[in-house]
Structure 1
């Protein structure tokens, strides 16, 4: 399991709906990831986006372009003030195997 994680601070006045529209692909049929976006309780402009991808790194590299809109970087640049974290992570354990 891979996870792509982004922590971003939105520009003042940007709605969560506008953020969603900036990067979610228009065609979601067969989307290869489970996605969650959460806001910070300390700063409602800060959002964390987590994509869970049940695939290998090689598969991810092949599907990377389909995970966002082709112009997502430009669209996000208009509404994101800062990106504090951007990374790809490989799961090493989860709650199903914590005790083993």
Structure 2
């Protein structure tokens, strides 16, 4: 299991809908291969975190990464994101039953 994390600071005035339109894949007919959480920081409403829980190996992620967002997502996000503060793909070290 992998967890991809992105912490971004949005430009002033950017709405949740604008972020979703820039980030979310266009083709949502099929099952999305990740459980996704998108949340705003309670201390800074311009900071948004996107967490994807992916049931795949690092090699599978490398193969499929481009299909997880819109093909032009980076360009679209550049229009509304002021900075990207964290980008990482993490491999789980404990399974859910270990805690």
Short-chain TM bin: over 0.9
Aligned to 1:44: 45
Aligned to 1:20: 20
Aligned pairs, number: 98
Q: What displacement does 1:58 show? A: 1.1
List alignment gaps of at least 5 residues for structure 1.
none
Q: Distance in 2 between matches of 1:83 and 1:42?
A: 17
Q: Distance in 2 between matches of 1:92 and 1:38?
A: 24
Aligned to 1:60: 61
Q: What displacement does 1:61 show? A: 1.1
What SS does structure 1 have at the residue aligned with 2:44?
Answer: coil
Q: Distance in 2 between matches of 1:95 and 1:41?
A: 27
Higher strand share: 2
How do 1:1-100 residues align onto structure 2 when only pairs under 5 Å count? 1-28=1-28, 29-98=30-99
Q: Which runs of 4+ in 1 moved over 4 A?
A: none
Q: What displacement does 1:95 show? A: 4.4
What SS does structure 1 have at the residue aligned with 2:78?
Answer: helix
Q: CA RMSD in A?
A: 1.0
What SS does structure 1 have at the residue aligned with 2:9?
Answer: strand
Q: Distance in 2 between matches of 1:72 and 1:8?
A: 14
